[in-house]
Structure 1
Amino acid sequence: MAVFMDLNVSFLPDRSDLRSVVETAAHLGFSTIALNYVFEPTAKKKQEIPTPTPINELIDQLPVVQGRSRPIRVLNRLTVVMSDASHFRPNAPEYRRFDLLAVQPTSEKLFHAACMVYDIDIICVPMTEKLPFFFKRAPINGAIDRGVVFEVSYSAAIRDSTMRRYTIANAVSLMESCKGKSVILSSAAQKALELRGPYDVTNLALLFGLSDGDAKEAVSSTCRAALLHAETRRTASGIIYTTRSQQEAPQSSVDGETPAAKRAKPT
């Protein structure tokens, strides 16, 4: 049975609204979601990278996933919106507070750097406007080889007809370049009504040019690969976690095995 994930749910400061989104995601069958903190630096003033709030301070008890016996897993993600190369700080200690690290480049030069250089997990493709550049095979293949995934979010298509046209056009352009590989589909939902179930999302992906198999992978196995990439990236950076939140303790590894169990396996 596939494990479905939505790795981009907007962080909401209102606890009631956030609880409603998390409960809806669990009811729809998502086993894992990531609360997305968006950081958009500007040249006018110095801005602080946000600090994620522990989920146990936001929600007393996590809801159980529909059809499963365990509560939903909630991760934290940071998305840096880049309009200048200086907006991404490779060694920023603040990045280490997050489970996932994503960038949203706004120019072809920055998109190329995100694909080929930056140590990140996800590249966001802006869905709400016409892209200022064309996708090229070389950087996209470079990102795929490095284990970085591309993200297409669908909630903008629900809010507005103009955004719907841009979303479909941008997504189709991306799929033509990456052949539907290394793509995740997420909601970027700002309220519970913008969430759609995993099978509705896979049907929507057909409009974006994905095959049936790639569409299912975009909300399951490719998301899992992104989490594994993030786990490896943090380990390679010398980050060692000594504590885990309650909901992560039984799932210390993405595939459900503890590190100790893996080390016990014969090589």
Structure 2
Amino acid sequence: MFYDLNIALPDAAGKPGGRLSSAEWARVAQAVERAREFGYSVVALNQTVQGRLTAEHLAVWRTAPAFKDADLGWDAATGARAGAGAGAGAGAADRVRRGRIRVLRRVTAVVTDAAQGHSLASAGGATPAAEYDVVAVRPATEKILAAACSGVWDVDVVALDMGQRWGFVAKHKLVGQALAQGLALEISYRPALADSATRQQWVCNAAGLVRATRGRGLVWTSAARQALDLRTPYDVANLGEALQLNGDLSKRALSANARAVLLHGFTRAGTLRAVMSVRAPRPADADAADGAADPAGPAPKKMRAD
């Protein structure tokens, strides 16, 4: 299975109480349909917010239309995350029926102050961040990057702006902390399709991440704003050659690593401090288990023969 965990929503979606027009949703739907045609099984629509995440940011999802041949990861009427309650399984987010595509929700918080990162908490499942399948943070400074990589915030992905000069270096030791926490580092390829100056900056940034991570824990995404920005999974995997990323690791960044992000997101929102996640048995299952354990009641005591 191939994943694209970043199909970008228009900027208006990132405002508290924001709404998208029918034309804007239509462009998003076209991108989702193109992703399905290209062979992606799961995509995430990315809502980028500036600073703190609030409950008002969830309003835009209640206006989303039905997508062709797609299964939504949230309730279209209420906006609540589907499968977030009791009995949800860790694989529910990427469960896909044949010929269809799974559409999930992602939020990326552009953090300029460490205090803003605490709005991304998901513990207990009663926070805005818990309603998203993927939570990403975009650090604006090296200090914020260090905080994100240390695991103090409930995030799944560290998403640096690949088309802009960072002003700092993603060091191996710092990135290693993120990988140890189970976080993924994102490489979005849309800047590689832009003008020559942006492409050059993208190569510099992406190659730096490949060196720092040694190819581990990377996730390819499109950051597509329209259907024309998307590329097939194999075209994306071939981009790794320009970054000295071998083919196997490049393909994992589209498949196994992306699935690990969704599992991390389930753990973030579905467990308390990642201690335990238990699916409650149905009454029929409990009765069957009891019968299997002791089908004939207690064993009779053996009589000693004198």
TM-score of the alignment, normalized to the shorter chain, above 0.5: yes
**What is the distance in 1 between the residues matched to 2:245 and 2:62?**
34
Shift of 1:260: 6.8
Indicate which of 17, 20, 34 corresponds to 2:27: 17
Shift of 1:15: 2.0
Of residues 203-212 and 192-201 in structure 1, the stretch that sits farther from structure 2 once superposed is 203-212
Aligned length: 237
> In 2, are the aligned partners of 1:9 and 1:188 still within 8 Å (CA)?
yes
Task: Say if 1:86 and 1:22 are closer, same or farther in 2 by CA, change over 3 A.
Answer: same
**What is the distance in 2 between the residues matched to 1:87 and 1:63?**
34
> In 2, are the aligned partners of 1:55 and 1:74 still within 8 Å (CA)?
no
**What is the distance in 1 between the residues matched to 2:115 and 2:198?**
29
**What is the distance in 2 between the residues matched to 1:188 and 1:165?**
18
- Residue number in structure 2 paired with 1:97: 131
Shift of 1:206: 1.7
> In 1, are the aligned partners of 2:70 and 2:103 still within 8 Å (CA)?
no
Identity percentage over the alignment? 32
- Residue number in structure 1 paired with 2:74: none
- Residue number in structure 2 paired with 1:159: 194
TM-score under structure 1 length normalisation: 0.81
> In 2, are the aligned partners of 1:52 and 1:97 still within 8 Å (CA)?
no
Indicate which of 230, 239, 249 corresponds to 1:204: 239
**What is the distance in 2 between the residues matched to 1:56 and 1:153?**
27
CA RMSD of aligned residues (A): 2.8
1:1-267 → structure 2 map (5 Å cutoff): 3-12=1-10, 13=20, 14-41=24-51, 50-51=57-58, 53-54=60-61, 57-63=64-70, 69-88=98-117, 89-91=119-121, 93-116=127-150, 117-237=152-272
Deviations 1:142-170 (A, max 9, x none): 11111100001011121221111111100
Deviations 1:45-94 (A, max 9, x none): x9875216558941254359xxx824100000000011111221243721
> In 1, are the aligned partners of 2:55 and 2:128 still within 8 Å (CA)?
no
SS of 1:31's equivalent?
strand
Shift of 1:204: 1.0
SS of 1:59's equivalent?
coil
> In 2, are the aligned partners of 1:106 and 1:132 still within 8 Å (CA)?
no
Deviations 1:103-134 (A, max 9, x none): 00011111011001222100002111112111
SS of 1:51's equivalent?
helix
Segments of 5+ residues of structure 2 without an aligned counterpart are 11-19, 72-96, 287-306
- Residue number in structure 1 paired with 2:291: none
Shift of 1:259: 8.6
4+ residue runs over 6 A deviation: 258-261
Q: Which amino acid aligns with 2:50?
A: E
> In 2, are the aligned partners of 1:6 and 1:33 still within 8 Å (CA)?
yes
Shift of 1:209: 2.4
- Residue number in structure 2 paired with 1:242: none
- Residue number in structure 1 paired with 2:294: none
**What is the distance in 2 between the residues matched to 1:194 and 1:234?**
31
> In 1, are the aligned partners of 2:4 and 2:42 still within 8 Å (CA)?
yes
TM-score under structure 2 length normalisation: 0.71
Segments of 5+ residues of structure 1 without an aligned counterpart are 240-257
